[in-house]
Amino acid sequence: MSNLGLVLGALVVVLISSLWRGLVYLIWRTFAITKRFRKQGVGGPCGKFWSGSLEEIRSMKKAGRKLILDINSHDITPRVLPHYLKWMSQYGQTFLYWFGPHPMICITDPELAKQVLSNKFGFFPKVTPIPSILALVGKGLSLTQGAEWVRHRHVVSPAFTMDKLKTMTNKMAACAQSMLERWQDLATQAEGQREMEVSSQLQELTSDVISHTAFGSSYVEGKEVFQAQKELQTLAAESLLNVNIPGYQYLPSRRNLHRWKLERRVRNTLMHIIQGRLDSKDSSYGNDLLGLMMESCRSDPGQERKGQLLSMNEIMDECKTFFFVGQETTSHLLTWTVFLLCTNQEWQERLREEVLRECGTGIPNADMLSKLKLVTMVLLEALRLYGPVVMMQRMAAKDMTLGNLVIPKDTRLVIPIAIIHRNKEVWGADADEFNPLRFKNGISKAAKHPNALLAFSIGPRACIGQNFAMLEAKTVIAMILQRFSLSLSPNYIHAPADMFFLQPQYGLPILLRPLNV
Ligand code: HEM
């Protein structure tokens, strides 16, 4: 036999033996982990080899998306988490299922969720992101871990202090004002009442706000990024329920080619925005988010910490993160709040009275907004019932004890926020109802557990933009209520869908009536 034949033969043997060992490992691991949980009294669906329960999840979610809810029903779980509802009724609150080759344990007890989320030693890190999510948000703050995350958070945090946020109110209000002027024109053309799909309007508005406040640009300038990210979001959402095959992302498939093209578009537009700052004649890059990141990229030997804190590539990734999460999340919070105000006219009136009392009819400032107690309560109730983030995931970095359970290393933990937010034992018998007054004594007193509201998460990885989002939402809601009366269009279909974030599947058409007509 020639040398080449020997080498090829050896390669084939190595390949077959690795495959065999991988197969044995997978089968043995599935069996061992399932047995370990069964012994602790945790059951769950068996699932299939390799794909686990993915097929069942897909078919239940598909059926869920066909459900149309009554507009007064706030229980979105049969649409967005139908598999959890089914398995909870079969196996109890805590159960094990397999997502492809990954064991997943569902945590619905707010105390256990708190222990996972507030672990300061990094023993419950985030799950390694799939390539399509990395393409969408980059390896920015939300996806980094350990020392890398500390470094990123250190650079980014100063852009979100309360003092900084207060100074952004003017910009937020200016963006809202220009959207509302367009609404006014449309209503005038329609001679009074006008039907309008409001969720896309609010998405454009929040894109404009994040562009102005964090990047010193505008929606128009960043439009290419937002549009490309929308397409990347669709690609990512489509691959969420697929088993990730390592290496597949490098193959020049049609899908990957399309993804690469979109990634290039995002990168080029961001580079253009960054270049604008580099070309500026000022000695500093400014103190908005982009400016702070770019300062941290300068190598300054005079500083206590020599060298760069963030590289240009890391800045690029942070830009992707903030462009995306900075607008998507808040726009959906605004959309659902408008929906709730349309379906609860008495609350709409109460809020308008409060806004006119505290802010008059002019542009509200940060001090005025801080007095809007009822508006805050309604926003919190919107976050409870229609929080944009439906669930979170973590994994066990080593064998961990959680309550009475031992969680084996590499098990993934799912925290289904939408289910925890509706637990009647935690929130009371009216958990499925819209009752903003539950927040009258603050978030920690609204439920039986002080950390039951998880819309922004808790612990060290809690949302860095939560105060920004709340300030923006208050500004926009106050300014809408000053100018318009809102009611639901008869064309609205109540179909909340988890398309990465919770949003109305068919948009939110409303009837808009200017108050001065
Ligand atoms: C209603 C609006 C928002 C909601 C409901 C929301 C929700 C969340 C949640 C639940 C997390 C934790 C995710 C996890 O641990 O898996 C998170 C993290 C994060 N959010 Fe938000 N968010 C909102 C607005 C914003 C805004 C406006 C920004 C930026 C301007 C932002 C930036 C981030 C970042 C960077 C992280 C990662 C933080 C870290 O890991 O250190 N979010 N958000």
State whether residue 177 is helix, strand or coil: helix
Average pLDDT, the chain: 91
Distance 293 CA to ligand 1 centre (A): 18
pLDDT tens-digit map of 132-182:
999 999 999 999 999 999 999 998 998 899 988 998 999 999 999 999 999
322 C-beta closer than 6 A to ligand 1:
yes
* Binding region: 463
Q: How far is the C-alpha of 6 from the C-alpha of 2, rounded, in Å?
A: 6
Tokens 């020049």 locate to 252
pLDDT at res. 372: 98
Does residue 13 form part of some domain? no
416 C-beta closer than 6 A to ligand 1:
no
Share of the chain above pLDDT 70, in %: 97
pLDDT tens-digit map of 172-231:
999 999 999 999 999 888 887 889 999 999 999 999 999 999 888 777 888 888 889 999
ipTM score assigned to the predicted complex? 0.99
326 C-beta closer than 6 A to ligand 1:
yes
pLDDT at res. 423: 97
Domain that holds residue 59: 34-514
Residue 86, amino acid: K
pLDDT tens-digit map of 380-392:
999 999 999 999 9
**Residue 30 structure tokens:** 């599935």
User: Per-residue pLDDT for 251 more than 90?
Assistant: no
Nearest protein Cα to ligand 1, atom 3: 329
138 C-beta closer than 6 A to ligand 1:
no
Closest ligand 1 atom number to CA of residue 460: 41
Does residue 17 form part of some domain? no
Q: Which of 213, 463, 468, 471 to mutate to test the pocket of ligand 1 (most atoms within 8 A of CB)?
A: 463
Element at 197 (helix H, strand E): strand 194-197
Does residue 28 form part of some domain? no
Does residue 4 form part of some domain? no
Does residue 344 form part of some domain? yes
Exposed e or buried b per residue across 48-78, where buried means at least 16 C-beta atoms within 10 angstroms of its C-beta = eeebbbbebbeebbeebeeeeeeeeebbbbe
* Binding region for heme: 463
pLDDT at res. 299: 60
pLDDT at res. 1: 58
Distance 325 CA to ligand 1 centre (A): 7
Residue 120, amino acid: K
pLDDT at res. 305: 52
463 C-beta closer than 6 A to ligand 1:
yes
Distance 408 CA to ligand 1 centre (A): 28
Does residue 2 form part of some domain? no
When pLDDT is averaged across residues 466-484 and rounded to a whole number, the result is 97
Closest ligand 1 atom number to CA of residue 149: 41
Report DSSP letters for 411-454, one per residue.
-EEEE-HHHHTT-HHHH-TTTTS--GGGGTT-STTSSSSTT---
pLDDT at res. 49: 77
Confidence grade of residue 303 (pLDDT, cut at 50, 70, 90): low
Closest ligand 1 atom number to CA of residue 387: 5
pLDDT at res. 294: 87
142 C-beta closer than 6 A to ligand 1:
yes
461 C-beta closer than 6 A to ligand 1:
yes
pLDDT tens-digit map of 82-115:
999 999 999 999 999 999 889 999 999 999 999 9
pLDDT tens-digit map of 35-76:
999 999 999 998 887 789 999 999 999 999 999 999 999 999
pLDDT at res. 280: 80
Q: How far is the C-alpha of 319 from the C-alpha of 139, rounded, in Å?
A: 10
State whether residue 514 is helix, strand or coil: strand
Does residue 255 form part of some domain? yes
Nearest protein Cα to ligand 1, atom 15: 461
By the 8 A CB rule, do 499 and 475 touch? no
When pLDDT is averaged across residues 238-245 and rounded to a whole number, the result is 79
pLDDT at res. 308: 67
392 C-beta closer than 6 A to ligand 1:
yes
pLDDT at res. 307: 60
pLDDT at res. 411: 96
Q: In sequence order, what E strands does 374-476 have? A: 392-395, 400-402, 405-407, 412-415
Pairing of strands 96-99, 102-106: antiparallel
- The full length of the chain comes to 517
pLDDT at res. 306: 52
Closest ligand 1 atom number to CA of residue 152: 41
* Number of structural domains in the chain: 1
At 483, which CATH number? 1.10.630.10
Q: How far is the C-alpha of 331 from the C-alpha of 472, rounded, in Å?
A: 10
pLDDT at res. 302: 52
pLDDT tens-digit map of 339-350:
999 999 999 999
Distance 463 CA to ligand 1 centre (A): 4
Does residue 317 form part of some domain? yes
When pLDDT is averaged across residues 496-506 and rounded to a whole number, the result is 95
User: Per-residue pLDDT for 301 more than 60?
Assistant: no
